[in-house]
Amino acid sequence: MTKPIRWGILGAAKFAHEQMAPAIHAAKGAELYALATSSAEKAAGFQSFAPGLKVHDSYDALLADPMIEAVYIPLPNSLHVEWTLKALDAGKHVLCEKPLAMKAGEFDAVIEKRNETGLLAAEAYMIVHHPQWRRTRELLQSGAIGKLRHVEGAFTYDNSADTGNIRNKPDTGGGAIPDIGVYTYGSTRFASGQEPTVVQADITYENGVDVYSHAYGRFEGFTFSLVNSMRMSNRQHMSFHGTKGRITLTAPFNAAIFGEARIEVETTPGVVTIERFPAVNQYVTQVENFGATVRTGADYQCPLEFSRGTQAMIDRVFAAAKPIE
């Protein structure tokens, strides 16, 4: 039997407590072994479902723990590259929350360190570990809707009342695009297998962070229109429109949380074929796929090079942005 990978988590972030720590605890081939936090209260929240969890009082102490093979990093965006490099130097495999870097060029040092150490380092881009996205890519590549001509999507929510949220702060790498633009942009790249050729954008800023954006332009052969906001009502939607039909994903990003994951394919007017994925936890499959790569050397669904490409698209959106009120 293959030895489980012992995981440590750098920091007791809310998202780690609610999603990733339970996913590591539930994943096959994984053991939630340690947490780095100086807060006994926060540690208790994790120990409520992982009673044997070891607690270190600093990030450096956790990285020095020889029992830990892999670390998950849910720190503020501005700290991701620094602690990913430190973890790799400590001999740990790394799964870091997105965006791993704030600029595409910042990925290069992490890619170099990954290659130097031979360890797995990856951005926690969980949606590509959900079968609905692999199925969508298969449908597009098989010509199920003919030639792809247009992609439209949206990922929006409202956190205006949560002024202390790190997403509302420029010094922690906040903004809607770093938080959720990675999903609309990255999923378009993943499903189509292509890169943008023309990028334009309208962006609204508050307190130095983007709170609304409309990115639009062209990939080779198709156009796109993608909206992201932290000041709009909740919405998740992706649609791929081709010459012979349309593919719609109803819960493309927070599957089973926002709603049931479904792919709706319409190739005859009024006739829709639906594929449902009610039981998949994409955070668990992400951890399991990460572990399979560590143990067997299998290809990983989301290598750093892919994540760098999404960040390059984000960089282009910001560079092209026209501020709007």
Q: Which residues are catalytic?
A: 98
Burial class (CB in 10 A: 0-12, 13-18, 19+), 230: buried
63 φ, ψ (degrees, to nearest 5): -65, -25
Q: How far is CA 169 from the centre of its chain?
A: 20
Tell whether the torsion through CA atoms of 64, 69, 74 and 78 is positive or negative. Answer: positive
Give the closest residue to 44 by CA, choosing from 31, 53, 33, 57. Answer: 53
Task: Let me know: does 94 contact 121? Beta carbons within 8 Å.
Answer: yes
Task: Let me know: does 287 contact 268? Beta carbons within 8 Å.
Answer: no
Taking the C-alpha atoms of residue 153 and residue 319, their distance in angstroms, rounded to an integer, is: 21
Residue 63 identity = L
Q: By three-state DSSP, how is residue 254 classified? A: coil
Taking the C-alpha atoms of residue 12 and residue 45, their distance in angstroms, rounded to an integer, is: 9
Phi-psi region of 91 (alpha: psi -120 to 50; beta: other; left: phi over 0): left
The set of residues, in sequence order, having a beta carbon less than 8 Å from that of 130 and lying 6+ positions away, is 255, 261, 277, 280, 282, 285
Taking the C-alpha atoms of residue 111 and residue 108, their distance in angstroms, rounded to an integer, is: 5
CB atoms within 10 A of CB 145: 20
Length of the chain: 325
